[in-house]
Amino acid sequence: MTPCTLTALSDLATLDVDTIIDVRAPSEFAEDHLPGAINLPVLSDAERAEVGTIYKQVSPFDARKIGGALVAQNTAQHLQTALSGKDGSWQPLVYCWRGGQRSGAFSTILDQVGWRVQLLQGGYRSYRRLVVAALYDTPMPHRLMLIEGGTGTAKTRLLHHLRDAGAQVLDLEGLAQHRGSLFGAMEGGQPHQKMFESRLAQALTPLDPAQITWVEAESSKIGGITLPPALWAAMIAAPRVEISALLAERAHFLCRAYDDLTADPAMLEECIDRLRPYHSAETIAAWQTQARAGDWAPLAEGLIGQHYDPRYAKTASRNPAPLVQLALSDLNDSTLAQTAAALHARFNASE
């Protein structure tokens, strides 16, 4: 069994292992884990709670004895199922919360089988410290360029075209699994805050700080996710490119981009209902009538013009003037691709 120490997040890309195994309970794994790890828990959530209760209420010795038996049983189950097809050349990296008894016991059994096992020193906690250091304790070194514009100006789609054009991009809405508005929920829901931060740190690590990284302008929260302070500070200070388009084009784009909501009018009505604190009952009723009738374009125009644009104008008035303002004739993919290529060429050349 070989100890493994992470000194930087970039170390994850150079690990000489075949599989990263998180032996913590499923709820711990769901909250966050090392990128690419699989979960082979040596204690279930219920078993972990039971052992913890025995430790506090009976004795540490009894807890370790009962816990040891459960770990052995669960490890045997993993050997007979998930690990049954691994040959002698397979090399795993194993960790638990702090590199203690759970990962130690599991690794010892795997080592005795004959596999070359690496054990993460400090466990998940050592990895989490690196994430926190990158996102909370030190300023971001990356050169950000923000894409801003009113709702429906295809900012996320433009960001994807920038990526396709060869630019560095950071897709925060993709990482947060949310489109950043009251109507922005995605299937599957959002990750835990810690999981988002892991995804964010993983996305940032390979980016070249000397090159521009394009980011969509967001508020400090995307759905239920809060942007870490280092990133938020960098976004506030970043130069901006502002995208605009005619209201009809924006409404048409939203109808395409939010086809999951147009396919579910009842859900759309629920989303509209959450706007009651900001609009009259008559306005809400009119929008919900349009949703029931499938009048998507007029509904989108109303939401943009009456709800989102006034709020965007208020926020934009507090920001520095954009570096570039682009008025697009339409928001089709061909136009967005051309715009992305031109932006990448322009700012790449100026570096």
Active site residues: 96
Name residue, tokens 């996710």: 225
Q: What is the 3 state secondary structure string of 288-350? A: HHHHHHCCHHHHHHHHHHHHHHHHHHHHHCCCCCCCEEEEECCCCHHHHHHHHHHHHHHHHHC
Sign of CA dihedral 239, 241, 247, 252: negative
Name residue, tokens 């965007």: 312
Pairwise CA distance, residues 21 & 69, whole Å: 20
Residues 6+ positions from 90 with CB-CB distance below 8 Å: 18, 19, 115
Burial classification of residue 85, based on how many CB atoms lie within 10 Å of its CB (0-12 exposed, 13-18 middle, 19 or more buried):
exposed
Pairwise CA distance, residues 109 & 101, whole Å: 12
Name residue, tokens 């397979």: 90
State both tokens at 283: 């306005």
Phi and psi at residue 40, in whole multiples of 5°?
A: -120, 80
Pairwise CA distance, residues 232 & 144, whole Å: 11
The DSSP symbol for 98 reads S
3-state secondary structure of 185: strand
Residues 6+ positions from 225 with CB-CB distance below 8 Å: 176, 178, 190, 191, 193, 196
Pairwise CA distance, residues 16 & 20, whole Å: 10
Pairwise CA distance, residues 253 & 270, whole Å: 21
The DSSP symbol for 327 reads E
Q: Which residue type is seen at 321?
A: A
